[in-house]
Amino acid sequence: MTTLFLLICATSIVFFLVFLLKCSFPARTSVRPKYSPVLRTVHKLSEAQAIDSVCGRRLFVHLEEQMADFLGTHGRHVAMLLIGIALVPLVLHAQTPSVNSADEQASAGSDQQIPPAVAKQLAAMQKRIEQLEQELKSRTPEMAPYSTKATAPIHELNDQMAPAPAVAAESALSQQTAPAPSNEKPAPFSFADFTWLTGNPRIKEVPFDTKFFTPEIRVDVDYTHSFNHPSDDTISGSSEVFRANEFQLTQLGVGGDFHWDNVQARLMTQFGMYSQTQPRNDASPARGQWNLDGAYQYLAEAWGGYHIDKLDGINVQAGIFMSYIGLYSFYNFDNWSYQPSYVSSNTPWFFNGMRVQIFPNEHLKIEPWLINGWQSYGRFNHRPGVGGQILWRPNGSISIVGNQYLLGADTCSTWCGNPVTYSGRIRYHTDDSIQVKYYDHPDNTLDKMAFTFTGDMGCEHGGGVSCTGDSAKGPKQSFVGYMVYNRFWFHKDLYAVTFGGGQINNPGRYLVLLPPINGATAISGTPYFTENPGDPFKAWDASATFDYMPSQYVTFRWEYNHRHANVPYFSGPGGVTPPGGNTGAPGSLVPGWAPDLVPTENRVTGALLVMF
């Protein structure tokens, strides 16, 4: 059998040599079905050209074409050869001697010699391989070890996201010549899989990555049916859903992460509804010139930074970045539900300023902020805001995050027609969340369960309001709220169901989203829904969400929402737009007309969410 095996090996080598010989001659002209006659010619390349084109990539393309022609001509002989090679292991296995005679067989086999012609060909091939490897090493520049802490997708380290595995883009040959990676500490939060968290994308494999740029594309399209049937198709009181009974592009995000030599940058656009609805909730552009809301209208994130290799990493970054106050991500693909409760929907999605991210170890992040204000492109008054985040993940099943904000003068005063005393009103806020994965059995039909709880408290004092209660300093201006969600995953995370909701109490309405009555914005306000000190606002909501996730890059979502407030707040059948369209200045009083606001809203949303 050993002789038969060697004969087949020799035949294989002869076949390979014949193939190479055939490939060195011009190809025959052949007529193939559905194609015009094509004359293919193999142009021989020099060894230097082959190596310069990633070790002969162009040559291999020509060889592949010639192989197709060769196999088409000699396919029967090739098939017989391959069948013979495949049967050899089976015959050898059937005739394998017992353990007692194994040594005798090995001794007999060792006496047989490889045919001289085969040995000569093998020696020549081995010598040529060694020569090519030496030439490749002399031409390939030395490459620095790839640092996951400095060059992994940066936003995944920055916010609440665990870093995705680095995707190697080099060929096998370049990997052979690259230096061995240094013994670095693990990247922060890389010790476990945190894709189950709300606020985190669930992508486990980055589709495309380079050492300089990691692209990212997000698409969010929804269709919402409101049971209030507003005549103008306008939905009020949400930072995620804005129109009824229409397909709407909530966001088209194009951008990604840049990373090179410890320098970082991130860009993400917000084309679609977000480009209109986010700027209108910020009153800071009313102060001064240059139309800040127009300058930043299409930017969800835009910042640059530098990574310092100390502790487990330190990032110094400045620009527009996500806040994660209220636990949920600004991007609906990352969240367990489409419409979050009020403590998330009514708190900041972004900041404009500077942050320093300090990772003492792989379980902890400490992040101080110096920012222009509370979800604002500019300052409202004479001072910036100060805050920070502490994120702790002791293991793969628990995540605890605390966000604190203080000393911000975030009430638009004379610029928005308010008394000058409003500039002395100071805001404080605490937002704290815990997420727990309490069940994880991947092989079961119900394979995972987790819950979240978020609690918020805050207040304002000065400028005619008080934190502690109605007093000589003014009426109570505070915020108290919570939300809780529980999610169930099924069939290896192909399906998921989420139930949740929450409540808020916000006297003074300083964090209530202003209904867009007659085009009202945060700058204009509206007489139809005031936000004066002492104005009451209490609300609660509940939701049920079903997700179908056939790929880690797409989610089909269906959701039911019930929302209620103690005052008329949501768009009713009559809508919030005057009969002839917006009339006069934004938010102004229209004689003889009033918006149709109701205290309750029920709606169903279907969404297609994509992220690469």
Q: Over the stretch 135-171, which tens digit does the pLDDT of each residue have?
A: 665 554 443 333 333 333 444 444 544 433 333 333 3
> Residue 472 has which token pair?
């000589």
| Residues 343 and 456 placed together within one structural domain of the fold | yes
**Does any domain span residue 266?**
yes
Name the phi and psi angles at 337, rounded to 5.
Answer: -140, 165
Contact assessment for residue 478 and residue 467, using Cβ atoms and an 8 Å cutoff: yes
Instruction: For residue 130, name the pLDDT band (cuts at 50, 70, 90).
Output: confident
State what percent of residues in the chain have pLDDT above 70.
73
Are 125 and 268 in the same domain? Answer: no
Is 52 a member of any domain?
Answer: yes
Our count of domains for the chain comes to 2
Asked if 266 and 400 sit in the same domain, the reply is: yes
Q: How far apart are CA 560 and CA 17, in angstroms?
A: 68
8 A C-beta contact, residue 23 and residue 41: no
In a domain, 174, yes or no: no
CA dihedral in degrees (200, 203, 205, 211; nearest 10)?
-50
Number of H helices, E strands in the chain: 11, 18
Domain assignment of residue 555, yes or no = yes
Burial, 582: exposed, middle or buried (Cβ in 10 Å; 0-12, 13-18, 19+)?
Answer: middle
Is there a single domain that holds both residue 14 and residue 131? Answer: yes
Surface-to-core class of residue 325, CB atoms within 10 Å of its CB (0-12 exposed, 13-18 middle, 19+ buried):
buried
Within a domain: 106? no
Look at residue 523 and tell me whether its pLDDT is greater than 70: yes
Is 163 inside any structural domain? no
Choose the weakest-confidence range: 86-90, 428-432, 545-549.
86-90
Same domain (yes/no): 490, 373: yes
Q: Average model confidence (pLDDT) for the chain?
A: 80
Per residue in 241-265, pLDDT tens?
999 999 999 999 999 999 999 999 9
pLDDT above 90: residue 9: no
Q: Give exposure, 466-499, as e/b (b: 16+ Cβ within 10 Å).
A: bbeeeeebbbbbbbbbbbebebebeeebebbebb
Specify the pLDDT at position 203. 92
Most confidently predicted of 98-112, 337-351, 413-427 = 337-351
Do 244 and 121 fall within a single domain?
Answer: no
Dihedral, CA of residue 89, residue 93, residue 95 and residue 96, to nearest 10: 120
Q: Per residue in 386-418, pLDDT tens?
A: 999 999 999 999 999 999 999 888 888 777 777
Domain shared by 276 and 412, yes or no: yes
| Whether 303 and 448 share a structural domain | yes
413: CATH: 2.40.160.10
pLDDT given at position 3: 56
Q: Contact, 501 vs 542, CB < 8 A?
A: yes
Domain housing 280: 213-611
Average pLDDT on 13-42 reads 44
Do residues 379 and 527 both lie within one domain? yes
Predicted structure pTM score: 0.71
Tell me if 451 is assigned to some domain: yes
Instruction: State the Cα–Cα distance between residues 228 and 301, nearest whole angstrom.
Output: 34
**Which has the minimum average pLDDT: 26-30, 88-92, 172-176, 356-360?**
172-176
The answer to whether position 197 is within a domain reads no
Q: What is the pLDDT of residue 74?
A: 52
Please tell me the least confidently modeled range out of 305-309, 469-473, 525-529, 541-545: 469-473
Residue 309 has pLDDT above 80, yes or no: yes
